[in-house]
A and B are shown apart, each in its own frame.
Chain A
Amino acid sequence: MNGVHDMGGMHGMGPILPERDEPVFHHRWEARAYALVRAMGAFGRWNIDASRHQRELIPGAEQLRMSYYERWLAGLTELLLQHGFITAAELASGKAAPGEAKLTPALPAASVPAFIARGSPSSRESTRTPRFGAGQRVRARNLNPIGHTRLPRYVRGKSGVIARAHGVFVFPDTNAHFRGESPQHLYSVRFEARELWGEAAAATDAVYVDLWEDYLDAD
């Protein structure tokens, strides 16, 4: 979707404000929100693409106003409701509905190190032949899907060169909507800065973007 989350190339977002000796979390609630997202993600009812898309669906003006962990919390809450972990009535009361069977098992504390160490790999075994190879010129398709995509607006319609083939990976555009993983080849595509931004950009500079086969045509 062409949302405000797709920020590459925008102006007017203000100065970058690095913070000296920045803590990992600025407030206890941020740490708890982060941990809740991971602990509930461990049930495997949704995937990373669905989780990202849920945050993209927060209305644009709200996204820009909210802090990072406020967006994570809003996204998580919506996913919990959609996937039936909690009801709106429970959310309002803060209590489990009477008679509601308790859902278990929760991620045990002892399993957290293994959960982190395992992660959730997105590569898939496949015998599919890659359509492109390193050095080949490609053009990013001019796609404007209303759903989730990882094809940033700033490369659409632009020409680049395959820098590296990464192998076969889950395709976010279908996976985010639970329409299957559609595994396909993923490539690092090099776009010259001048191709993306015009002659004012430095001739020496380039942007590398990881793009799936369904985003690309031979050029």
Chain B
Amino acid sequence: MKSKDTHRDHAEPHEHHGHADQRLPSDPALQVLALESLLVDKGLVDPRALDALVESYEHKVGPHNGAKVVARAWTDPAYKARLLADATSAVAEFGFGGLQGEHMLAVENTSGVHNLVVCTLCSCYPYPVLGLPPVWYKSAAYRSRAVIDPRGVLREFGLQLPAQTQIRVWDSTAELRYLVVPQRPPGTEAMTEERLASLVTRDAMIGVALVQPPQPGEPP
């Protein structure tokens, strides 16, 4: 599905903003090209460093990191205790940390409590464990409603929680970055940590989904 926030058709001419970019071409693709070439020309940017930054977030850092953390927490009670007490150190055991995950907090879903993460003021998100945020997480629709109508938001994601479940919404207003530790689904008792990690989704670690049990017929 195309989302309005990012997929405007840039072939359409549009009015431009009353800011610095007024001095730039109206197409952001051309603006970025012009700016990068100017900064390279001035010796301020090494284009290979830009390549390396893009490569990191497209291919290295992503929700597969967070999934490893969650699977370890499910299988190793001592690790889970460390994760809930000091998530920054616990995720660092996997070598995860740094930019936009300097200070981490893990919040655990239980049978009575469901956690949901949002940043109402901008787009704060735990990069080292989840990568860069999806467009919907940064959208006005999600940021505005997650705090006032979390149950409505979850229903929109297809998740209807029992009325007695306590919902805790975490608004990332400071430099703490939140990771939801979802509940381990039933029917996974015999699974290896690696197999468990393959079940854990990005959305479950934001709190807009539950981790689904393996489908009948799937290998254990």
Contacts and interface: CB of A to CB of B under 8 A. Distances in A.
Contacts of A115: 99
Interface string B42-71: 111110111111101110011000000000
A99 interface: no
Contacts of A103: 42-44
Interface stretch (B72-80, B130-138, B179-187, B211-219): B130-138
B136 A16 contact: yes
A20 B169 CA distance: 24
B194 interface: no
- How large, as a class, is the contact surface on chain A? 35 or more
A27 B29 contact: yes
Contact of B132 (A24, A109, A120): A24
B114 to A, nearest CB: 9
Contact of B144 (A9, A166, A212): A9
Contacts of B166: 204-206
A89 to B, nearest CB: 9
29 contacts: A8-B118, A10-B144, A17-B135, A19-B1, A19-B136, A25-B54, A27-B29, A34-B57, A35-B49, A35-B53, A38-B99, A55-B122, A67-B6, A68-B6, A78-B19, A91-B20, A91-B34, A106-B45, A107-B46, A109-B48, A109-B51, A109-B52, A112-B49, A117-B99, A119-B100, A121-B103, A154-B148, A172-B174, A207-B147
Interface residues of B, number: 93
Interface of B: 1-8, 17-21, 23-24, 28-29, 31-39, 41-46, 48-54, 56-58, 61-62, 97-103, 105, 118, 120-123, 131-132, 134-136, 138-148, 150-151, 153, 156-157, 163-176, 203
B176 A166 contact: yes
Q: Choose among A38, A43, A48, A64 the residue with the greatest number of B CB atoms under 10 Å from its CB.
A: A38
Interface of A: 5-11, 13-20, 22, 24-36, 38-40, 43, 48, 52, 55, 58-59, 62, 64, 66-70, 73-74, 76-78, 80-81, 85-86, 88, 90-92, 94-96, 100, 102-109, 111-113, 115-123, 150-152, 154, 166, 169-170, 172, 186, 188, 193, 196-197, 201-202, 204-212
B137 to A, nearest CB: 9
Given A152-B171, A204-B164, 8 more contacts: A11-B144, A16-B153, A18-B134, A24-B57, A26-B7, A67-B5, A74-B20, A204-B165
A208 to B, nearest CB: 5
Nearest to A18: B136
A13 B163 contact: no
A30 B37 CA distance: 15
A5 B164 CA distance: 32
Contact of B121 (A24, A80, A152, A212): A152
A85 B44 contact: yes
A193 B169 CA distance: 9
Contacts of B140: 7, 10, 13-14, 64
Contacts of A35: 49-51, 53-54
Nearest to B59: A24
B167 to A, nearest CB: 4
Contacts of B138: 68
A68 B135 contact: yes
A26 B58 CA distance: 11
A96 B171 CA distance: 42
A156 to B, nearest CB: 12
B23 A208 contact: no
Contacts of A109: 46, 48-49, 51-52
Contacts of A59: 17-19
A104 to B, nearest CB: 4
Given A19-B2, A119-B99, A210-B176, A66 B17 contact: yes
B168 to A, nearest CB: 6
A15 B156 contact: yes
A91 B58 contact: no
